[in-house]
Amino acid sequence: MSETQIGILLVKLVIIIVLARLAGYLAEKLKQPAVLGELIAGVLLGPSLFNLVHETDPVLKFLSEIGVIILLFLVGLESNIYQLLKVGRASFIVACIGVIIPFLLGYFYFIYSGYSTFVALLVGGTLTATSVGITMRVLSELGKTNSEEGRIILGAAVIDDVIGLIVLAVIVGIIGSGHVSLFNVFKLSAYSIAFLVGSIYIGIKFVPRIHKIVHKLELEKTFVISAFIFALVLAVIANWIGLATIVGSFAAGLILERSEHKEHFEQKMKPVADLFVPIFFVMAGAVMDVRLLNMKILLPIILITLIAIIGKIVAGLGAFGTKANKFHVGLGMIPRGEVGLIFATYGLTYKIFTNEVYSVLVIVIMLTTFITPPLLVQFMKKGKAEAKKGIPNVS
């Protein structure tokens, strides 16, 4: 990498961070979450207009990955494992409904449009998993990460990431060999559950002891580093199992939330987050290429987006028996992201999807991402205003 290439990347980085901050500021002025501004900044910087930021750039891609890892680490730090477990049943049902309905709707829409079973299966899979980053960022901006809705969404998103992974393994198995490898399904499920339960259980049990060692080694001044490393290590393990990295860093946050130094971690990680998190959302926006939009694919885009939205709104009903607003939970589950893109990219790479189907799916994923922040602000703020009249919120 030459000095010139470094220079060019530095320029891109400056433009990304500055534009993200300005767009975020403008969004806030328009009573929208900052993240919406950052996504739009991404669209402008991407192939749609300035063609400056590409999803394929390894350095920017890696920085954005660090950003979302830190974001979910902080979300974990703001969450509480026991409160999450309290809504565990609701989260699980929401996750299951939110996988099944969009999958079936997507599958049958494509079957009835005359596509093959393979295409329909992969489309169904693409529509399953929620991208928790967007929703958590919005909830965090609204100070609602710890609300009952927030906790249910968070739990459901982690669970549906695991389910999405298993669904992918099943579909890849069917497409590859024509049959489902039960062993693979079992292995993945076991790994995922073992990772989540194991890391959190062991983590909470041993973190005080590790603290003592760190303290003894006079490494207190490296608290930030140890927190960051801890998040990265769990992210790496999650990635190695096949889960999203953010599931790992979220678990790390949950574990350190139990630590007596929680505030310290939060305070020190915030400046790092301020720098990196917007890069993730700009890169997420840059995936969208508005030039791909044309009249021919407009109807499928609208219909599949509706499927994606309705599937998750219905899933919100799974939160029965809790005080949470089911509609808000459903809204929070709408955004699709990484896992959906993995499905779509798999389809394109193995020539199961045409470029057109791929483009439609990527645009649907983007639309679910763009539509959620304003919807959440619209409805949850109203909810908050009502709540204020009644019992005051803890958040």
- Interface residue list for its own copies (CB under 8 A): 1, 3, 5-7, 9-11, 13-14, 17-18, 21, 25, 56, 58-59, 61-62, 65, 217-219, 222, 224-225, 228-229, 232-233, 235-236, 239-240, 245, 268-269, 271-272, 274-275, 342
Smallest CA-to-CA distance from 129 within 352, 333, 364, 353 is with 333
Which CB, 31 or 388, lies closer to its own copies? Answer: 31
Q: How far is the CB of 271 from its own copies (least distance, A)?
A: 4
Taking alpha carbons only, the member of 71, 125, 79 closest to residue 102 is 125
Cβ at position 29, least distance to its own copies in Å:
9
Which residue's CB is nearer to its own copies, number 4 or number 295?
4
Q: Of the two residues 17 and 303, which places its CB atom closer to its own copies in the complex? A: 17
Give, in order, the Cα–Cα distances in Å from 206 to each of 28, 201, 303: 41, 9, 50
C-alpha 373: how far from its chain's center?
13
Q: Which is nearer to its own copies, 77 or 101 (CB)?
A: 77
Q: How far is the CB of 4 from its own copies (least distance, A)?
A: 8
* Nearest-approach distance from CB 15 to its own copies, in angstroms: 10
147 burial via Cβ count (<10 Å: 0-12, 13-18, 19+): buried
Q: Could you tell me which of 47, 49, 59 has the C-alpha nearest to residue 12? A: 59
Residue 342, phi then psi, degrees to nearest 5: -65, -45
Cβ of 115: how many Cβ atoms within 10 Å?
Answer: 19
Tokens of 181: 């490898």
Bridge partners of 130, per DSSP, are 336
Task: Compare residues 270 and 382 and give the one whose CB is closer to its own copies.
Answer: 270
The smaller minimum CB distance to its own copies, of residues 28 and 387, is found at: 28
CB of 62 to its own copies, least distance (A): 5
Q: Which is nearer to its own copies, 7 or 176 (CB)?
A: 7
* Minimum distance from residue 283 beta carbon to its own copies (Å): 11
From 234, 304, 245, 329, select the one nearest 280 (Cα to Cα). Answer: 245
DSSP 215-250: HHTT-GGGHHHHHHHHHHHHHHHHHHHTS-HHHHHH
Q: Which residue has the tokens 């501004």?
A: 37
Residue 271 or 321: the one with the smaller Cβ distance to its own copies is: 271
Closest to its own copies by CB, 110 or 281:
281
In 256-354, at which residue ranges do the beta strands (DSSP E only) sit?
A: none
Is residue 85 a contact partner of residue 201, using CB atoms and an 8 Å limit?
Answer: no
The three-state DSSP-derived secondary structure of 171-198 is HHHHHHHCCCCHHHHHHHHHHHHHHHHH
Structure tokens at 37: 């501004």
CB of 70 to its own copies, least distance (A): 10
Residue 305 C-beta: closest distance to its own copies, Å: 26
At closest approach, how far in Å is the CB of 219 from its own copies?
7
